[in-house]
Amino acid sequence: MSERVAIVGVAQTRFGPKRADVNYSEMAYEVIAQVLGKTGLTVERDVDNAVSCSHDIWDGQTISDIGITDVIGGHLRNEEKMAMDGSTAVYYAAIGILSGEFDCTLVLAHTKMSQTNRNVVNNTAFDPIYTRLLGLDFTSAAALQAARYMHVRDITDRQAAKVVVKNLANAVHNPVAHNKGRYTIEEVLDAPVVAAPLRKMDIAPDTDGAVALIMASEEKAKRITSSPVWILGMGTSYDAHYLGDRDLSECRALEQAAARAYKMTGITDPAREIDVVELSEEFSYQELLWLEGLGICAHGEAGRLIDSGFTAMDGDLPVNPSGGLLSGVPANVAGLNRVAEAALQLTGDAEGHQVHNPKIAVAQGHSGFCGQHQCVIVLGKE
Amino acid sequence: MKRNVAIIGGGQTYHAARRHDVNQVEMVNEAVRSALEDAKMAIDEIDTVLIGNMEFFEGTHLTDCWLVDGSGAYGKPGLKITTGGTVGATIVCGGVHHVASGLFDKVLCIGFEKQEEGDTGAILSGVAHPLYGRSMAGAAVGYFAMMGTSYMAAWGAKEVHSAMVAVKARQNARKNKYAHLKLDITVEDALNSRMLAYPIRMLDMCPASNGACAMILADEKTAKDRCANPVWIRAMDTAHNEQFELDWRDVTTKKPIFSRTSSARIYKQLGVNKPVDYFDVFEIYEPATWAEMVWYEDLGLCGPGEGFRLIEEKRTEIDGSIPVNPSGGVLSTNCIGASAMLRVWEAALQIRGDAGDHQVPKEVRRALTTAYGGTNWTVITALSRSLDD
Amino acid sequence: MRPEDRKQELIDIPMTVDVPYRFAAGKYMTKFLVELRDNGKFYGIRCPVCKRVQMPPRIVCAACHVKNTEWVELGPEGTLVGFTIMYLPLTDPTTGKPHEPPFSYGSVRLDGSDSVLDHFLNIEPEVEKIKVGMRVKAVLRSPEQRVGDLSDILYFDPIPHQ
């Protein structure tokens, strides 16, 4: 019976705006083969089950895991599909191992945003009775949240722009990122407005890619690698659905998810006890809002936080050293990529964008517009 | 597994062709309330909510997010799994893992589908690869029709055997107040019903139903404290099958396939030699009559090619020696996201002795359930009245 | 009449969910479709471990979990493994329109292949005329009209004098 769960291997595709050379099955196989190769494991001998993460509507495939059954080693074996952000796949896979039924799980998330239209897909997440006909998508909903949050908490355009500047500059050193560069605040503020106050550079770009990782029970993990990354705590929570039922300047679901994860881990002072954060800033303002939800700072303090350099690469608590979602990570893969990047930080393998000697990392992902469902995973070296 | 897990309550909606009176949120809520009432629990006592359906059917992405008010997930941890027709049972497995992990004591599992809100046939055809097979638009009907022609050619079964399965299902359904197709039909009625895709006639095929099922799973202490007759989930097995080889249509195939592999594994896990002796009742996922006969064989209830003899000899009737689908099965009710969970719930009702008019008239100690979906996927569960099995 | 006595009106909201897609065929399916379009040939791929020949060709043999390697040309002739006659006007999800029923379609195992291919059969939709085990042959569109998808196969013809 396992007491703890660890991540023993991680693989990511080079993210890019369009992978016309592969279908998503072939794209998924790239990372599956890579992570099996790195860990020296095989599906038949070592892997008990698979947890995949994708959506019918994104893939244009009824029961989208049909498309990856072959490559994930699903034939005649156990595979289950999360229809949420990839961070939840880690959460679910960990629960499976903690239950005692599985010792080793292969986790995969994939999306080819290039094969469809993000706005149309997003729009189908709105209920067909009241809100879908308004033509809302995640960007316009996020714009509503950004406006509300920035108004209530006195966050400025410049502070949100600093998130973009920081993350795209961090991405310069991330070999798998595709949206990268050294920009000024003015350049970010000069980008065309898409849905006020969101400008083009505030929005994570369309990306194709996949991430795979392997998780194992404590005993098995120690046999596979000398540097397992332990899942120390995790939590999820659902907020209300209708935007009007929520105060968009807050993210209660994230606070609840974080509280659950921190309780499991024993964290009482997140800003001091956490060494690095990889969070899901699909839109620039979200980095600030999620930092408040994660308890890294008090409500309304995230603007001052980024002003002070606390979350910079060389700051006290680097946030998104990988470049975050703004550097180009596909929807749905997002949270799994955050966990993967957090794991790479802890094993010292974050090539080019390594933070100095982190011991505790937090990865966060969300599903549903304006982050209605939140998932927080706390990872550690020991 | 680290902890024992029991079903301590459950509920379902009255499944129907039309539920214009409720939206998806309200429909799910009916099943949830029914389950809470059965378990004598309040929603606040539930630790986490797991939900599943096939999002493409209703054309609503991230349905779990919309449904939080009806599912009770608001403010709670939870997640959504979607694996197609097997999802109802996968959610049950997920629920078992949640409880067995020690992180949660009381888990609410929900499966549902509001079939009328989408184009079921078109979406089922979407199971096929977009560039290889999808435009054939055969949907499930075409697939099982091919199974039928293969079965008849291989073993000499006749259309009348299909009709017998159709009759058993709907006559059983008449005893199940929640079932969708409660039909007082005869073999003649089945043989005269409209041909959909040879040899599948209207009455040989499952309906498209609107419905939901909810179950509450709990750890051993909670189960013993709160429930007079907990039903223990003793084993589970999941087997998917590769994307392109839809071998279940070729009934003579010697390849190891999902149904035989999964049942062999679970029998080995439990030490089962003769399933007809070990299990008292079976709730299997039969989208079409021919699938039921093939399931009999693949589950080892009879030898290869003998499935149609079991129905001919009335052995799988509700009062037979091997009762299969006393609830009426998927042939009588098919709200796809719920159907696999309904098999588990109906099996639990049998073990509890709570199946009312469709209770099998013998002692029920252990039951086996199957699911079906995807490109030949299954989830098999084994339930028992006691922790000794 | 009091409001509560009036029968409640129920509203249905009609909606078409129309999501555009452009599917990359990927390396393996592309080669299959190009051979079909340009040379009128069918190709499968063989697994180096279990040796089975798979169609459509795909990156990995699911049973062995190894990369498929050897391309195998398959006969335009094959054997009918299963069939049905469709009477329902089911919507083709790639066009939004139904095929006109009744029509026969079946599962064909091309010579040399372990996998089957589903396609229309050029046989009258009458049960007596179709038999599992029949030999059939693929009939393709004329070369200049082929586009590189499965519709380049018009149907399967029964081979005469079986």
DSSP state letters, A156-220: -HHHHHHHHHHHHHHHTT-TT--S-----HHHHHHSPEEETTEEGGGBPPP-EEEEEEEEEEHHH
Buried b (16+ CB within 10 A) or exposed e, B108-122: bbbbbbbbbbbbbbb
Domain count along chain A: 1
The nearest alpha carbon in chain B to A51 belongs to: B81
Q: Is the pLDDT of residue B122 over 90?
A: no
Round to the nearest angstrom and report the end-to-end CA distance of chain B.
14
Q: Is the pLDDT of residue B262 over 60?
A: yes
- Domain range for C77 is 26-158
- Specify the pLDDT at position A294: 98
| Mean pLDDT along residues C23-28 | 92
- A157 within domain boundaries: no
**Listed residue (C140, C143, C159) closest to C151, CA to CA:** C140
Q: Is the pLDDT of residue A88 over 80?
A: yes
The residues near A52 (Cβ < 8 Å, ≥ 6 apart) are: A65, A68, A72, A79, A80, A81, A82, A89, A107, A108, A109, A110
In order of their start, the domains of chain B are: 5-119+208-226 (3.40.47.10)
CB contacts, 8 Å: A238 with chain B:
49, 64-65, 68, 73-78
CB C46 within 8 A of CB C70: yes
CB B61 within 8 A of CB B120: no
- A139 within domain boundaries: no
Verify whether the Cβ–Cβ distance C26 to A26 is below 8 Å: yes
- A37 within domain boundaries: yes
Within 10 Å of residue A275's Cβ, how many Cβ atoms?
Answer: 21
Output B118 or B90, whichever has higher pLDDT. B90
For residues A113 and C21, what is the distance between their CA atoms, to the nearest angstrom?
10
**Listed residue (A73, A65, A64) closest to A32, CA to CA:** A73
> Of B1, B82, B84, which is closest to A101 when you measure between CB atoms?
B1
For residues B70 and B334, what is the distance between their CA atoms, to the nearest angstrom?
21
- Specify the pLDDT at position C94: 76
Secondary structure of residue A283 in the 3-state scheme:
strand
For residues B258 and B261, what is the distance between their CA atoms, to the nearest angstrom?
5
**Listed residue (B4, B6, B221) closest to B109, CA to CA:** B6
| Mean pLDDT along residues A217-225 | 97
| Mean pLDDT along residues B325-334 | 98
- Specify the pLDDT at position A1: 36
Taken in order A367, A364, A203, A144, the sign of the CA dihedral is positive
| Mean pLDDT along residues A208-215 | 98
The residues near C146 (Cβ < 8 Å, ≥ 6 apart) are: C36, C37, C38, C40, C140, C152
For residues B64 and B79, what is the distance between their CA atoms, to the nearest angstrom?
8
- A108 within domain boundaries: yes
ipTM of the complex: 0.97
> Of C23, C82, C92, which is closest to B249 when you measure between CB atoms?
C82
Secondary structure of residue B127 in the 3-state scheme:
coil
Pairing of strands A360-367, A276-278: parallel
The nearest alpha carbon in chain B to A70 belongs to: B242
> Of B62, B124, B129, which is closest to A368 when you measure between CB atoms?
B62
- A360 within domain boundaries: no
| Mean pLDDT along residues B181-201 | 97
The model's pTM is 0.96
- Specify the pLDDT at position C3: 67
CB B232 within 8 A of CB B6: yes
- A317 within domain boundaries: no
For residues B90 and B321, what is the distance between their CA atoms, to the nearest angstrom?
29
CA distance B161 to chain A (A): 30
| Mean pLDDT along residues A81-106 | 97
Please name the helix (run of DSSP H) or strand (run of DSSP E) that holds residue B35, with its range, or none: helix B24-39
CB contacts, 8 Å: A372 with chain B:
65, 68
For residues A256 and A237, what is the distance between their CA atoms, to the nearest angstrom?
6
- Specify the pLDDT at position A49: 98
CB contacts, 8 Å: C87 with chain B:
194-198
For residues C148 and C145, what is the distance between their CA atoms, to the nearest angstrom?
10
Please identify among residues 73-112 of chain B the ones whose CB lies closer than 8 Å to any CB of chain A. Answer: 73-84, 90, 93-94, 96-103
CB contacts, 8 Å: C132 with chain B:
149-150, 153
Q: How many CB pairs under 8 A join B and C?
A: 126
Q: Is the pLDDT of residue C117 over 50?
A: yes
| Mean pLDDT along residues A264-278 | 97
Domain count along chain C: 1
| Mean pLDDT along residues B351-366 | 98
- Domain range for A20 is 5-117+206-224
- C82 within domain boundaries: yes
- A182 within domain boundaries: no
CB contacts, 8 Å: C60 with chain A:
29, 70-71
| Mean pLDDT along residues A313-330 | 98
> Of B3, B243, B262, which is closest to A70 when you measure between CB atoms?
B243
- Specify the pLDDT at position C161: 76
| Mean pLDDT along residues C102-120 | 94
- Could you give the angle at which helices B258-270 and B289-298 cross, rounded to 10 degrees? 40
How many residues are present in chain B?
389
Confidence of residue B250 (pLDDT cuts 50, 70, 90): confident
